């Protein structure tokens, strides 16, 4: 299967002929908003399919940019400690993450961000430490579902797309 007007291969659909994609927007601490929406959706899925239902079970691809990429990574992270392989985080965990860690990670800069100067708004050091603590040495290819995380390399001034499917194929 290829994308429209593209020779890039897409992962095959897990059910039927439709490829299901969840796309999560970025926005710093506003990542709490999609976390709450996804928490509601996962709650409804649990009513239908049982307490073990996770968002990652229902999408062929989960994509996110910026803080949406963080949510995507958490949704797809495998639980290495589980006897039955499952995603490590549920949406309750992700919402709690934004409530507890968000104010630390997304602390407003001391001086206003100059939009004419390229670069990140937030210092990524704290985020890097917290993510490393939560995800450890987990690699993209180990994700529970196909993840796509588009980023931008500020030094090379070019986009970089991290993709489990691309890495495997």
Quick: pLDDT tens for 13-26.
Answer: 666 778 899 999 98
In the chain, where are the structural domains located?
Answer: 21-108+115-163
Read off the pLDDT of residues 47-70 as tens digits, 9 standing for 90 and up. 999 999 999 999 999 999 989 999
Question: What pLDDT band is residue 117 in, cutting at 50, 70 and 90?
Answer: low
CATH topology of domain 21-108+115-163: Cytosolic phospholipase A2 catalytic domain (3.40.1090)
DSSP string, 80-110: TT-SS--BS--HHHHHHHHHHHHHHHTPPPS
Contacts of 134 (CB under 8 A, 6+ apart): 74, 77, 97
Mean pLDDT across the stretch 81-108? 87
User: How far apart, in Å, are the Cα atoms of 117 and each of 112, 120, 133, 160?
Assistant: 11, 9, 31, 20
- What is the DSSP-derived secondary structure letter of residue 2? B
pTM value is 0.81
Average pLDDT value for residue range 86-93: 93
C-beta neighbour count of 167 within 10 angstroms: 13
Q: Between these two residues, 7 and 138, which has the higher pLDDT value? A: 138
Which of the 8 DSSP states describes residue 58? S
Q: What is the pLDDT of residues 139-164, one digit of tens each?
A: 888 888 899 999 888 888 899 999 98
């Amino acid at each position: 299967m290829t994308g429209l007007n593209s020779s890039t291969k897409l992962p095959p659909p897990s059910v039927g002929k439709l490829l299901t994609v969840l796309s999560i927007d970025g926005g710093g601490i506003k990542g709490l908003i999609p976390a709450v929406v996804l928490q509601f959706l996962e709650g409804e899925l649990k009513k239908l399919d049982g307490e073990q239902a996770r968002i990652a079970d229902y999408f062929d691809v989960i994509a996110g940019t910026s803080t949406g990429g963080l949510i995507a990574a958490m949704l797809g992270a495998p639980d290495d400690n589980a006897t039955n392989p499952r995603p490590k985080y549920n949406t309750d965990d992700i919402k709690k993450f934004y409530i507890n860690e968000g104010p630390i990670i997304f602390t407003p800069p001391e001086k206003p961000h100059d939009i004419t100067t390229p670069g990140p708004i937030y210092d990524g050091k704290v985020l890097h430490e917290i993510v490393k603590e939560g995800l450890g040495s987990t690699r993209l290819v180990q994700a529970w579902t196909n993840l796509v995380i588009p980023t931008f390399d500020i030094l090379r001034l070019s986009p970089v797309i991290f993709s489990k499917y691309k890495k495997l194929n």
